[in-house]
Structure 1
Amino acid sequence: MDLDELRSNINDIDNQIQELFFKRMNLCCDVAQYKIDNDLPVFQGAREQHILDKVAQKSSDDMKGGSKVLFQTIMDISKCYQYQRFFAQTNKIEYKKLDLSGHHKVAVPGTNGSYSHIACSNLFDDYEPIFFEDFDEVFTAVENGEAEFGILPITNTTAGAVERTYELMKKHDFKICASTKVKVSHCLAVRKGIKFEEIRSVYSHEQGLHQCSDFVEENGFKTHKYANTALAACYIKDSDQPYGAICSEQCANDLGLDILKRDIANAAYNFTKFILISKETLKSENADTISVCLVLPHQSSALYRLLTKFSVAGLNLSMIESMPVANTDFDVVFYLDFQGAIDTPEVAKLLSELDSELSYFKFLGNYEEM
């Protein structure tokens, strides 16, 4: 046979597979309906494993793995289809309209001139910052009502995820209601009168040190991590040692520091994404990003099977981060962002499905970048 004939035969087989797939899906729905009518458990793990074992037995050694993946995927698609038709709750997540106009109290890490403080000006025209040294205190201030909102860095285009924020997101009860990006323009600032050649140590947040690692290594500086870039600048201002701080130019100017070097980050395109958090579920009219976190079971292809659910629902994942869970046997929390709105049926059904199937699932918010 020539190539065209081979491809024609493949097309014929593909058509047969598709017809059989449709027949199987319809039969699965009939089975699900029968179980519902007769008050029987719908999803049965033992039945799935029995099918996979039979598939493996009928397969050659070199096709065994692929055959199991194929049939596992078919069964996962079947469950998604059944869930969407029969089992998903139609009631949507309750929320209030996000309103950032007027005067608001905002919990902010650091002090005047911190990048978090700068991010607030992207979101609010009138706000009262309440400054805290630690990210944990920002979450707590929102939880206990001391502040209406809190703002925190979550990822950077150069240094990646802000791990401390992700660690605390599992611990605290909050919702993301907006996000914004801030261009990061790091400078080297010192107490007045300090000369560049006197500097041996620089202080900054670990992200600031990472983003300026080339500059730091080139000059042989010893690095010291601080809770916040702006607080690091406050520290070196009050020190009698010739220390430097990596911070924003606004922070250096506000504190009356001398700027010895500007634009010292590794990459010229350097942005940090910040999230605005609240105690309640607040949603703007044009919210188009949904954030969730979840824990997957220690099973083969668990992440692949999770991604199948998003694919079947036609929802686009835009971010996946993973963080280890403390005091566990290498459990991992996955943080996912995907496009959508919670007041649409496909999203409401998927969220309900994930909540019902996973041992740990948390809806983190539906928001837009502002």
Structure 2
Amino acid sequence: MDKTLQNQLSPLRDRIDAIDKQILDLLNQRAQAALDVGKVKHAFDADGAVLKPEREANIVRSLQAGNGGPFPSPAIDAVWTQIISACRGLESTMTVAYLGPQGSFSEQAALEHFGNSVEKLRCDSFDEVFRAVEAGQAQVGMVPVENSTEGAVNRTLDLLLNSSLKVLGERSLSIHHCLMTQSGTMQGIKRVMAHPQALAQCQAWLSRHYPNLARDAASSNAEAARIAAEDPTVAAIAGSMAAQAWGLELVAQGIQDDAQNRTRFLAVGAIETLPSGHDKTSVIMAVPNRAGAVYEMLAPLADNGVSMTRLESRPARTGQWEYYFYVDLLGHRNDPAVATALAQLKKKAAFFKELGSYPIQ
């Protein structure tokens, strides 16, 4: 390296090293403060929840609001999620259930949302995720609920209807699908495997490039990657994280038909989330099968100035052409306007279930 350049870089690097040591010292001070908070909480409630979604959301939002740069505000979420996760883990290890195997988008969503200082419980199906949390094998679960290209994940909607678990958070991921094989080429490949939603999200690309290859469904994209790692005739569609996890080589990247392809995940658990100041409430409703019933059902929202951000219908499977409506509202269930609207909705609906209030990502 040029001596003049070295002379200019050396003091700057020394400064960075000194700052890093200060950051580490402050992180240890923060960790100790978190432990002290835990001691106080357990003195009053031995079974008190370690996870506080509203508190964690407010920490990140406050730091982003006060950020003067040049450190990018979006990176604050990623950095402090890991800091909070590490401090939370000192108090008690939290187990997170999600659809596996290793390298799934569900795993990515879980780690982005809860941080890496958690125990991972990989499940074979969405049903198992819910069962694991309900049985206490995991404190929280992470499941996909909708995709910007293919719409609702119906099995998740059905499980939310029948489970006692509450929604306590959300995480939206940009979904970038990759085609991967053992060799990094398509030589000898006879079929492409992926979750049915992923196959649908990439169908135009596959039809253009490999129209003659069979397309087979797998329980998850990561499971398709696992199979491809064992079978040289299989190409898998999954995220780059799955390729790394299973030792596969990428044939093509970004093969999803929609460049803006995103999937929204919900965190579920048994705890009730308190207001954070910027929240969403999810409910399920059904209405009597008569003219104008849906309009009447939604009237309390307009009357109380409550905004609806999502309305999804799902057949009630009664054979009578009846539907459940999955509705997302802006605001927390404890907010006066939302509380009034929900009380009125309960009176009007033939069926009503609150899924939970939680911080908006």
TM-score relative to the length of structure 2: 0.72
Structure 1 partner of 2:21: none
Matches of 1:288 and 1:348, distance apart in 2: 13
* Equivalence for 2:221: 229
How far off is 1:153 after superposition? Answer: 0.7
CA distance in 2, matches of 1:323, 1:354: 18
1:329 CA displacement: 2.0
Q: 5 Å matches for 1:1-370?
A: 97-98=52-53, 101=84, 102-103=88-89, 104-125=94-115, 126-190=117-181, 192-193=182-183, 195-218=185-208, 219-220=210-211, 221-239=213-231, 242-283=233-274, 285-370=276-361
Shift of 1:124: 1.8
Q: How far apart are the structure 2 equivalents of 1:137 and 1:185?
A: 26
Post-superposition CA distance 1:51-106 (Å, at most 9, x none): xxxxxxxxxxxxxxxxxxxxxxxxxxxxxxxxxxxxxxxxxxxx994366413100
Distance 1:276 1:195 in 2: 37
Distance, in Å, in 1 between the alignment partners of 2:122 and 2:154 is: 20
Looking at structure 2, the residues matched to 301 and 199 of structure 1 have their Cα atoms a distance apart, in angstroms, of 54
Does the CA-based 8 Å contact 2:243-2:249 persist in structure 1?
Answer: yes
Greater Cα offset, 146-155 or 212-221: 212-221
Q: How many aligned residue pairs are there?
A: 274
Say whether the 8 Å CA contact 2:184–2:251 is kept in structure 1: no
Q: Per-residue CA shift, 1:215-272, capped at 9, x if unaligned?
A: 1222113221221110111122223x51111100111111001211111000111111
Distance 1:367 1:166 in 2: 17
Find the aligned partners of 1:299 and 1:197 in 2 and give their Cα distance: 58
Distance 1:165 1:132 in 2: 14
For structure 2, the 5+ residue unaligned runs are: 1-48, 57-83
For 1:246, what is the secondary structure of its paired residue? strand
1:310 match: secondary structure: helix
- Is the Cα contact below 8 Å between 1:97 and 1:284 reproduced in 2? no
Specify the code of the residue in structure 1 equivalent to 2:315: P
- Following superposition, the deviation at residue 286 of structure 1 comes to 3.3
Structure 1 residue 284: Cα displacement = 5.3
Question: Deviation of residue 194 (structure 1)?
Answer: 6.7
**1:133–1:231 contact (8 Å) kept in structure 2:** no
- Residue 200 of structure 1, CA deviation: 3.0
DSSP-derived class of the 1:343 partner:
coil
- 8 Å Cα contact 2:316-2:324 kept in structure 1: yes
1:134-190 CA distances to partner (integer Å, 9 max, x unpaired)?
001111111111110000111111221111211211121111111011111110111
Q: How does the TM-score come out when normalised to structure 1? A: 0.70
C-alpha RMSD of the superposition: 1.9
Q: For residues 308-361 of structure 1, give each alpha carbon's deviation from its aligned partner in whole angstroms, at most 9, with x where no partner exists.
A: 221111111110000112344222110000111222222112212222332311
Distance in 2 of aligned mates of 1:362 and 1:229? 32
* CA distance in 2 between partners of 1:245 and 1:193 (Å): 12
Offset at residue 367 of structure 1 (A): 1.1
Question: What letter corresponds to residue 107 of structure 1 in structure 2?
Answer: A
Check conservation: 2:205, 2:255, Cα contact below 8 A. yes
| Preserved contact between residue 97 and residue 285 of structure 1 (Cα < 8 Å) | no
Per the TM alignment, residue 287 of structure 1 is displaced from its structure 2 partner at its CA by 4.2
Instruction: Give the percent of matched residue pairs that are identical in Structure 1 and Structure 2.
Output: 29
* SS across alignment from 1:281: coil
> CA contact under 8 A between 2:113 and 2:171: conserved in structure 1?
yes
Change (3 A) 1:148 1:249: same
Check whether the contact 1:188–1:260 (CA below 8 A) recurs between aligned residues: yes
CA distance in 2, matches of 1:337, 1:328: 26
Work out which of the two has the higher radius of gyration on C-alpha atoms and give 1 or 2: 1
Report the Cα offset of residue 195 of structure 1. 3.5
